[in-house]
Amino acid sequence: MSGARVQAPGGTEAHAPGSASLLRLRQVAFVARELEPVVEALCDVFGIEVAYRDPGVGIFGLRNAVMPLGDSFLEVVSPDSLGTTAGRLLERRGGDGGYMVIVQSQAREADRARVGSLGVRVAWETTLEDAATLHLHPRDVGGAILSLDWMDPPESWRWAGPRWREAVRTDLVRGIAGVEIQARDPAAMARRWGEVLAQPVSREEGAEQVALPDGGRIRFVAERDPRGEGVSGLLVDAVDPEEVRRRARARGALQGDGAIGLCGVRISLVGARGPARSP
């Protein structure tokens, strides 16, 4: 099926698993001072489950939980020691919020050459038999840690553990449709992300955005609050938005416009469109 086209969540056209040109928003990470209350709230509101707690994040002084939304993933990390990047972000932005955007790309060599030519430093990287990752320095990209990750096979996701498919629950939500980053100059930051990802920038619904060809969009908006630049919003593909909002209301997390506020992030529901991906 390499090179074939399929429908992605949100009705966008996508490459089938196995395509070397796959480029997709696959995981978004939040950071929280207290891990478990945030994880419990997210699981309750969205009807999802924890698939994995990765001991490997201990090298960064963190604890985490990874939850599948269809075959995309929401992660929450929390500092477990002093002097961590995540801890400094919590202090700088005054509390919980967005942390990292992980884009799956199957073009490792081209990615490495491109970010180098753009003067983007690699903050951390690892290469394993079935996975590889490049964490790009946020000062060179802007707004958040951007990670470019490769998987073999492409439909797998090592960071969610060996049994993540058993934890998939799609009664209420079934995927991450996008992420929003607030910036002092949204147009300039969008251009930079477009260069790094080698994707065009467009203006849609009043915001600059990079739409990834295999699913997901990265939107850049003006700063809504005084917390500074960073991941401020998440777009979730909802199967049953009314039930999600009911659960959020019960927790006092439903905002006046129907968005949901959890972990310092504004989460907007996108109506279910197109056939679901099979995990």
Please tell me whether the peptide bond between 153 and the residue prior to it is cis, using omega within 30 degrees of 0: yes
Residue 167: the pLDDT is 98
**Pairing, β 265-271 against β 260-262:** antiparallel
The whole-number average pLDDT for the span 229-237 is 97
Query: Who has greater pLDDT, 1 or 162?
Result: 162
Tokens of 125: 């990287």
**pLDDT tens-digit readout, 109-125:** 999 999 999 999 999 99
Q: How far apart are CA 148 and CA 104, in angstroms?
A: 6
Cα 131 off chain centre by = 17
197, amino acid identity: L
For 60: left if phi > 0, alpha if psi spans -120 to 50, otherwise beta; the answer is alpha
Could you give the dihedral angle defined by the CA atoms of residues 239, 240, 241 and 243, in that order, rounded to the nearest 10 degrees?
-150
In a domain, 19, yes or no: yes
**Domain count along the chain:** 1
Query: Which residues, other chains included, contact 117 with Cβ-Cβ below 8 Å and sequence gap of 6+?
Result: none
Confidence category of residue 272, pLDDT binned at 50, 70, 90: low
In a domain, 279, yes or no: no
Query: Who has greater pLDDT, 187 or 7?
Result: 187
C-alpha dihedral sign at 135, 104, 144, 52: negative
In a domain, 1, yes or no: no
177, pLDDT greater than 80: yes
In a domain, 160, yes or no: yes
Cα 262 off chain centre by = 15
In a domain, 262, yes or no: yes
β partners of residue 202: 209
**pLDDT tens-digit readout, 102-160:** 999 999 999 999 999 999 999 999 999 999 999 999 999 999 999 999 999 999 999 99
What phi and psi, each to the nearest 5 degrees, are found at residue 152?
-135, 110
Angle separating helix axes 241-250 and 35-46, nearest 10 degrees: 140
HEC readout, 228-261: CCEEEEEEEEECCHHHHHHHHHHCCCECCCCCEE
pTM, two decimal places: 0.90
The whole-number average pLDDT for the span 258-277 is 82
In a domain, 255, yes or no: yes
Query: Which residues, other chains included, contact 228 with Cβ-Cβ below 8 Å and sequence gap of 6+?
Result: 92, 93
Cβ contact 178:25 at 8 Å: yes
The whole-number average pLDDT for the span 219-248 is 95
99, pLDDT greater than 90: yes
In a domain, 6, yes or no: no
In a domain, 146, yes or no: yes
Range of the domain at 27: 12-274
Q: Locate tokens 């990047």: which residue?
A: 85
Residue 81: the pLDDT is 83
184: domain CATH number?
Answer: 3.10.180.10
